[in-house]
Structure 1
Amino acid sequence: MHRIQLDNREFEGSNAVYLLGADSAGPTTLVDTATAQPAVQSELVAELEAVGVSPADIDQVLLTHFHGDHAGGAGAIQAAGDAVVRVHEADAPLVTRDPAALTEFDERHSALFDHWGMPEPAAAELRESLADDALWSADDADIEPFTDGDRFPVGDGEAAVWHLPGHTVGQSGFVLDVDGDRALFSGDALLPKYTPNVGGADIRDEHALESYLDTLVRIADGGFDVAYPGHRAPISTPEARARQILRHHRDRTDRVLDVLEAQGPADAWTVSAQLFGELEGIHILHGPGEAYAHLEHLREADVVSLVGTEYELRDSRPELDSLFPVLDAA
């Protein structure tokens, strides 16, 4: 395996792309591609060539999810050598840039911006940013979709698909043996420094936090020796990191309740401002999206009520451990 770190100042730190099977008879595989921005793709090509591989040598691309900083270069890699590009079926329409899927996605964004209480200047700035296709290759990728449990040859071994939703509906990881270790290529399901965004990163999931808590439990129980994330360095203790993020979300839910107790009914934008302060760039989406995911988790548990666009506590403050039973084993 060859880990390639690529410059990315827009999201969670430098992208990690993984080259597998280059020195074997099996399929030469890339896990993720980073963006299609010229500087990033030039860096990727140089890193591949340093180990004797060209984009035309790539047999398959396994994408962890649809975000442009992971999938944006897939079309260019495929065009160079006709690689098979695979992604979870739920994220496939957004990777192929299907017009109907993109229109539906944009309409969902607009509806949620209103529901969250996002001020129009912030919404306008965010819409302009989201409409920028600079992260994506001019060559749209043809996709072979996969689902949980599918398996693919990678080099001399085999990768198993683990569906790990929460960050996106189709977020997936790939499980395989790397130098005798049980390894998870986790994309953005598990990151070493930041907690992956839920709620804003993919607005299609109406139960994003619940989905992500289940994902973290699955990872924690997966018996992994190492995780190779989509950003930054490998994670040597995946179980501990998954449980740390579980506790983080329990604590964040506590902070959401602090806001509602202190100022009464509030929309997601107001709660976000109390949690994260002033936001800019993609965080204009991620902040209220995360607040919304936590508020909806509380609403589904009958802890808060939704009146119009504002959430309010129903009764006295609950014992949150009952909403996070996964913490019993943490």
Structure 2
Amino acid sequence: MTEDLKPTYVEAGGFDRDMNYVPDRITRGARRPEHGPDEGELWPVEPGRYRLVAAKACPWANRSIIVRGLLGLEDVISLGTPGPTHDKRSWTFDLDPGGKDPVLGIERLQEAYFARFPDYPRGITVPAMVEVESGKLVTNDFPWITHDLFFEWREHHRPDAPDLWPADRREEMEEVMQRVFTEVNNGVYRCGFAGDQESYEAAYDRLFEALDWLEERLATRRYLMGETVTEADVRLFTTLVRFDAVYHGHFKCNRNKLTEMPNLWGYARDLYSIPEFGDTIDFDQIKAHYYVVHSDINPTGVVPKGPDESLWNTPHDRDRL
């Protein structure tokens, strides 16, 4: 990777995530839903029309892969998986034969963005929904992608698909997910990308305050919202599964490891044992992404050998709850 193409992530002061995404949505009959952004174009639900591009290395993309599997949408929405490393320009399909996505025929996800927006000014992010025929980006708005996979694609779910958004718990779940996002999912990045000591320590304190809250919450319930898996669990899992391998050391989130928080560690292993969760995890790709791409944090590019992945397959006792 040439020097001028290396991305930079550490910001002066505290890290502030850019949450401006393409607000288009895929909905039943391309109708305007009651909830969600009012701007953006609407695209119709149509099996085979779209390809989900989602790198296994990325926690935000990992969510969409898990939800697609839980709902049984594999034959309805195809999946493209870029490799774990990229430069300033784009995620690339370097894991595919010839370095091209076998369905879209592109080397870089950037090509789908530029097909829709020739002067797209922001980062090329995953997950991204791409229209197969035109090769154009539809949306990269990751929270709404998984939301709409559940609510808008229901006619195509497998018969025993879980209720990821239970109506009787939705209000509380929204509050839990918001705290998980701001304090944990994004909290690890605030630690890792902090540009000064004060910002880092404030982010560190916020992160572990939230993890302590989750440790306590999971002492009396198997999953975040009770007895069944919901979207909230998907969102927390993708951070927890990366915690000891990446965030503890690389992002300096080192008060303790996940393995040292009994309830969170048991909970994470419980989810990992579900194929739609565990089968999406590739620790080699995860570590390569963070330790190679974040060259301003890890200039040597050396990727850690550990931790021991086999620990994820050790027994948990969460079924007692």
* Structure index of larger Rg: 1
TM-score normalised by the chain length of structure 2: 0.30
TM-score normalised by the chain length of structure 1: 0.29
